[in-house]
């Protein structure tokens, strides 16, 4: 990935968001795919592709895109949540529940690695 790829992928990603918001999921999917071609590591474009395919009723393609996202970013709970939602929409309930469980475990791991927040009303440490 180069700076040129990032700069050319971002407008395509933004176009996909605009199309998705306008209720044009098939066209949005094409824009997200073009962004991914320019920058294969553009996580947000992958998320947009999953959503747009799901909204377009292309559930098996949405599942495939979500699986690709979980491979690209296996520690991202949102990737597994996106997979779970697409699986659920397609009627693959046991697989959807497994993906949702994986997302919860990843979220818990992130929470355990984060420093605890001070209790509200507590004096800050000095």
Mean pLDDT over the full length of the chain? 92
Q: What is the domain partition of the chain in residue ranges?
A: 3-112
Per mean pLDDT, which range of 60-64, 105-109, 115-119 is the poorest?
115-119
d(CA 26, CA 122): 51
pLDDT in tens, 37-94: 999 999 999 999 999 999 999 999 999 999 999 999 999 999 999 999 999 999 999 9
Tokens 């990032």, residue located: 6
Question: Is residue 106 a contact partner of residue 80, using CB atoms and an 8 Å limit?
Answer: yes
At residue 50, what are phi and psi to the nearest 5 degrees? -55, -50
Q: Which residues of 91-101 are buried (b: 16+ CB within 10 A; e: fewer)?
A: ebeebbeebbe
CATH fold for the domain made of 3-112: 1.25.40
Per mean pLDDT, which range of 35-39, 95-99, 108-112, 116-120 is the poorest?
116-120
pTM (predicted TM-score): 0.83
């Amino acid at each position: 990935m180069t700076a040129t790829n990032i700069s050319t992928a971002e407008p395509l990603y933004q176009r996909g968001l605009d199309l998705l918001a306008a209720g044009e999921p098939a066209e949005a999917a094409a824009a997200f795919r073009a962004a991914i071609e320019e920058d294969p590591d553009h996580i947000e474009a992958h998320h947009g592709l999953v959503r747009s395919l799901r909204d377009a009723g292309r559930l098996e393609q949405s599942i495939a895109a979500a699986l690709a996202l979980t491979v690209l970013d296996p520690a991202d709970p949102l990737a597994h949540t996106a997979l779970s939602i697409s699986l659920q929409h397609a009627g693959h309930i046991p697989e959807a529940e497994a993906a949702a469980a994986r997302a919860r475990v990843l979220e818990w791991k992130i929470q355990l690695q984060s420093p605890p927040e001070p209790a509200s009303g507590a004096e800050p440490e000095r």
